[in-house]
């Protein structure tokens, strides 16, 4: 994480990259950190101007929540920012100096889009007001990517500069800068014991229930061996014999969910009609059942509670 000097450090480092690039094609060229205006420049120059800082979409919520229910700070808040830069090129148009500097700048930024540690350290050493910057120790590296601004977007951007004639320019984004708060967070209390007698977490998982087959037939079919073939569908007055594994438990319920209607029926299977390998579910046929049940397709999940 970085302190509040991170933004200025990134700008200074970018200016150094641009200065090296433009001087490779025009030895007298230089980079100045200022907003574009109508002031004429006698020498080839690049105006570097950070026109916007926006929240980073990927990391903006990574540090939430930072406070406990009572308002105490548990973690230092961190702001994740993307920096937007405008690079405007000035020089002798007859000798195409702006275009030559633009080509050199794009070449070098594209070749080395990441701010390396030594670049940041050089930027900090070049300006006395950046002495306290700790951007070189940041976890996230700063990466520069060109912004594909349309002619309309570029025109709107230049319109905010009062009486500044348009100059050959390109926009870049630097991402991501993480600025950490200076407020100290409360230390989390240490773990003194893990469970009873400090034995840690004890988790026991038994085998999961599974259904292997469902037989539909008359109630007396359950006692016949071998049982007759299963009915193709169930109706009131028939019995469902559900065979499977690990079906026994403290409480077993069979739920019937209608595939199209919001109709759900739940039948509790008594202990006398269930075992670990088989459940017997009787679909009672009476006046109340004929009113409650709807014809159609049902899914039949079994809920086993241990």
CA 246 to chain centroid: 39
Distance CA 275, CA 56 (A): 58
Rg, the chain, Cα only: 37
Q: What is the pLDDT of residue 204?
A: 62
Q: What is the pLDDT of residue 68?
A: 73
Measuring CA to CA, how many Å separate 290 from each of 57, 236, 258?
Answer: 57, 8, 15
3-state helix, strand, coil in the chain (%, to 5): 25, 30, 45
Please give the chain's pLDDT, 306 residues, in tens.
799 999 999 999 999 999 999 999 999 999 999 998 877 778 999 999 999 999 998 888 777 666 777 777 777 788 999 999 999 999 999 999 999 999 999 999 999 999 999 999 999 999 999 999 999 999 889 999 999 999 999 999 999 988 889 999 999 999 999 998 877 766 777 877 777 777 777 666 667 888 899 999 998 887 787 888 999 999 999 999 999 988 888 899 999 999 888 888 999 999 889 898 999 999 999 998 888 899 999 999 999 987
Q: What residue segments make up the domains of the chain, in order of their start?
A: 6-180, 210-305
Distance CA 246, CA 108 (A): 67
Measuring CA to CA, how many Å separate 85 from each of 35, 42, 82, 91, 228?
Answer: 10, 23, 10, 20, 81
210-305: CATH topology? Immunoglobulin-like (2.60.40)
Q: What is the pLDDT of residue 182?
A: 79
Q: What is the pLDDT of residue 306?
A: 76
């Amino acid at each position: 994480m970085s302190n509040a000097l991170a933004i200025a450090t990134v700008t200074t480092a970018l200016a150094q990259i641009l200065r090296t690039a433009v001087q490779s094609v025009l030895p007298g060229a230089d980079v100045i950190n200022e907003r574009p205006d109508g002031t004429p420049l006698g020498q080839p120059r690049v105006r570097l101007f950070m026109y916007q800082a926006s929240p980073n979409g990927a990391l903006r919520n990574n540090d939430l929540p930072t406070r406990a229910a009572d308002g105490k700070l548990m973690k230092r808040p961190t702001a994740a920012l993307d920096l937007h830069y405008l690079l405007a090129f000035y020089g002798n148009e007859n000798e195409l100096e702006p275009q030559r500097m633009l080509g050199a700048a794009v070449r070098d930024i594209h070749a080395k889009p990441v701010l390396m540690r030594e670049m940041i350290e050089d930027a900090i050493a070049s300006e006395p007001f950046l002495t306290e910057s700790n951007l070189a120790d940041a976890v996230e590296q700063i990466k520069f990517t060109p912004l594909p601004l349309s002619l309309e977007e570029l025109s709107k951007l230049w319109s905010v500069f009062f009486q500044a004639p348009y100059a050959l320019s390109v926009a870049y984004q630097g991402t991501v800068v993480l600025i950490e708060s200076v407020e100290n967070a409360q230390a989390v209390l240490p773990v003194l014991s893990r469970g009873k007698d400090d034995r840690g977490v004890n988790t026991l998982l038994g085998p999961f229930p599974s259904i292997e087959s469902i037989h539909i037939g008359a109630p007396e079919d359950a006692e016949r061996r071998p049982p007759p073939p299963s009915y193709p569908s169930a109706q009131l007055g028939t019995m469902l014999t559900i065979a499977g594994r690990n079906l026994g438990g403290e409480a077993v319920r069979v739920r019937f969910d209608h595939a199209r209607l919001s109709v759900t029926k739940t039948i509790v299977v008594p202990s006398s009609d269930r075992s670990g390998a088989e459940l017997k579910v009787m679909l009672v046929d009476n006046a109340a059942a004929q009113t409650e049940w709807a014809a159609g397709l049902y899914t039949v999940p079994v809920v086993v509670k241990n």
